[in-house]
Amino acid sequence: MVLRLEGSWSLLVGKRFLSLSEEDDRPWDTNRILEWPWKSGRIRAVSHTDISKQDLKICVEFDDEPWEKRRWIEVYSHKMKVFLVEQKLVLAERRSQGSSMSPVQWPAMTYKSLVDRS
């Protein structure tokens, strides 16, 4: 499912995101998705009120960098393979390894796709 929020840019500001961009055209092993170069952080601003515009830029703060290094990224660039925006917090079942106890409800974040070329 692709996120389309024409006129709803304010719903993006302050949200968490996950992104995957590629500097070279080498394929990634889908069996090792956890090892892909994922980046995460928070959206601070957007360049347009209509986020479907192809020249959309988003100002982001990455989790692994100080806030002074926030920067603008081009969401629809050919280098951007995946850009996911937090949608909502849900409860998901989680079973303990090797335990016969019934599953426990844990919080989990769901995301919507703005870009998906993976």
pTM: 0.76
Kindly report, residue by residue over 15-28, the tens digit of the pLDDT.
Answer: 999 998 876 566 77
Domain with 36 in it: 9-116
Q: What is the pLDDT of residues 27-82, one digit of tens each?
A: 777 888 888 888 999 999 998 878 788 898 999 999 989 989 999 999 888 888 88
Q: Cα separation of 51 and 63, whole Å? A: 23
Hey, what are 4's tokens?
Answer: 């389309």
Is the residue at 2 inside a domain?
A: no
**22 with 36: CB under 8 angstroms?**
no
Q: Quick one: which of 45, 41, 32, 50 has its CA closest to 118?
A: 32
Helix (H, G, I), strand (E, B) or coil at 11: helix
Separation between Cα atoms, residue 57 and residue 38, nearest integer Å? 19
Question: Structural domain tally of the chain?
Answer: 1
